[in-house]
Amino acid sequence: MTATTVTSADTATAAAPRRRRHRLLVPLGLAVLLIVTTLVLHAVDRPDPDEPGFLSPVATDDDGGSRLAEALRAQGVSLRRETTFDGMLQTAGIAPSTVFLPAPGLVHPDLVDRLTALPPGSRLVLVEPSPRVLAELDTPVGAATRRWAARAVPPDADGTPCPLPEAVRAGAAAIDLQRYAGPSEVDHCYGGALLRAPGRVEVVLAGASDPFRNDRIGEWGNEVLATGLLGGNRPLVWLDLPEPVPAPTRPSWSAEPFTEQPAPGGSGRSERPDPPDRADPPWENPLWGAFPQWFWALLAQLALAGLLVVLWRARRLGPPVSEPLPVTVRSAETVRGRARLYRRAGARDTVAETLRGAALDRLLPRLNLPPDTPDDEVAAVVAARAGADPERVAELLYGPAPEKDRELLELARELDALTRTLAPHPSEGDTR
């Protein structure tokens, strides 16, 4: 009774740290899963300016700008859609106009400074420009804080009156996502989410794309703000870039000296070497663009859930618990079942080893022999007590494995007779 109590106490003491560890790891794992799921859903929910159709005047999906284009045309604004950077510069260079860049990050850094060469009196509206774009434009403003998601705030959110009439007419708008900071001569609205930098070309920075998108333009004062920034008496040039603008190409032979060589016809014209071929674009996996982003996000979540299930099934979350069997199985049925399995597998050596081990477990204590007694000594003592041949007893207890079922059966019978003679079970009676 005392040994049982000590064993139970030791088991409970060892299981207590495991239970405390599980109580810590399970909530921590759930928290990590929740955070990862939130990040994935947020990344999928936020529009990607690199996708074709983002704030496009002809795109009717949630991230498009067709509703804004219709509202501007209804106000009589002359809208011109351009899909190339050079075409935009050519159209906007005719007269002062409003140039709208929904994705300024797609313009190559070597070309951003050309936006400052627009005609005087033009307005340049940029949506969420990066610090790199602002540095290339040489504007006196820079990126400040950024929120997790866009929220609707009034124009004087920071307590400073907003000097932009477009923002005052719109009121609260969902534009507070990326905030910008600049000197005092720059007009600030919505806590820094909307800035206007005066100059030869007026630069307007919008800190979120929500007021211009089809899915959010109908909320708060988004439509009034978007049409106010892009409308007015000036024509609107909408730059709809389907892909990033490549870097300007410069011939590699332009800065190298050349020699006068006669033409094949003897005209004496100067010939320059042909420029080398352009390098092939980097290879992209077509499978990545064959499915929408939500498919890959769902696939990643399913893989993570499968990993958690594997970890859960591969390790118990606690010590083993003993439970009563639903039915009582007789020992004879257990022996027969195991015997059939051994017979089907042909494991005569395993069966013989098990029978001999069981016989020695009964004989050695009865003969007062320690477990490490040499085999020949055990065979001699057993033969002397049973009155049998020592060589036969040694072959019986330590001989080779039988090769046939009949030999295995004879071995079992002789071992049973030997143990019944020297070490009978109390229920079998003493045969001596």
pLDDT at 5: 39
pLDDT at 284: 53
What structural domains does the chain harbor?
A: 21-48+291-317 (no CATH), 66-239 (3.40.50), 333-422 (no CATH)
3-state secondary structure the chain: CHHHHHHHHHHHHHHHHHHHHHHHHHHHHHHHHHHHHHHHHHHHHCCCCCCCCCCCCCCCCCCCCHHHHHHHHHCCCCEEEECCHHHHHHHHCCCCCEEEECCHHHCCHHHHHHHHHCCCCCEEEEECCCHHHHHHHCCCCEEEEEEEEEEEECCCCCCCCCCCHHHHHHCCEEEEEEEEECCCCCEEEHHHCEEEECCCCEEEEECCCHHHCCCCCCCCCHHHHHHHHHCCCCCEEEECCCCCCCCCCCCCCCCCCCCCCCCCCCCCCCCCCCCCCCCCCCCCCHHHHHCCHHHHHHHHHHHHHHHHHHHHHHCCCCCCCCCCCCCCCCHHHHHHHHHHHHHHHCCHHHHHHHHHHHHHHHHHHHCCCCCCCCHHHHHHHHHHHHCCCHHHHHHHHHCCCCCCHHHHHHHHHHHHHHHHHHCCCCCCCCCC
Residue owning tokens 């290339």: 136
Q: Using CA atoms, how far apart are residues 181 and 409, in angstroms rounded to an integer?
A: 95
pLDDT at 149: 85
pLDDT in tens, 397-425: 898 989 888 988 898 899 888 888 887 76
Instruction: Determine the residue type at 337.
Output: G
Give the predicted TM-score (pTM) of the model.
Answer: 0.56
pLDDT at 335: 80
Mark the ranges of the chain whose per-residue pLDDT is less than 50. Answer: 1-12, 14, 251-283, 430-432
How far CA 283 is from CA of 49, 123, 287, 288, 411, in Å, comes to 21, 38, 12, 12, 73
Which pairing describes strands 142-153 and 173-181: parallel, antiparallel, or unpaired? antiparallel
pLDDT at 235: 96
pLDDT at 317: 57
* CB environment 129-150: b (16+ within 10 A), e (fewer): beeebbebbebebebeeeeeeb
Q: Using CA atoms, how far apart are residues 56 and 299, in angstroms rounded to an integer?
A: 29
pLDDT in tens, 16-26: 565 666 667 77
CB 193 within 8 A of CB 167: no
Q: Using CA atoms, how far apart are residues 281 and 249, in angstroms rounded to an integer?
A: 14
CB 153 within 8 A of CB 222: no
pLDDT at 3: 39
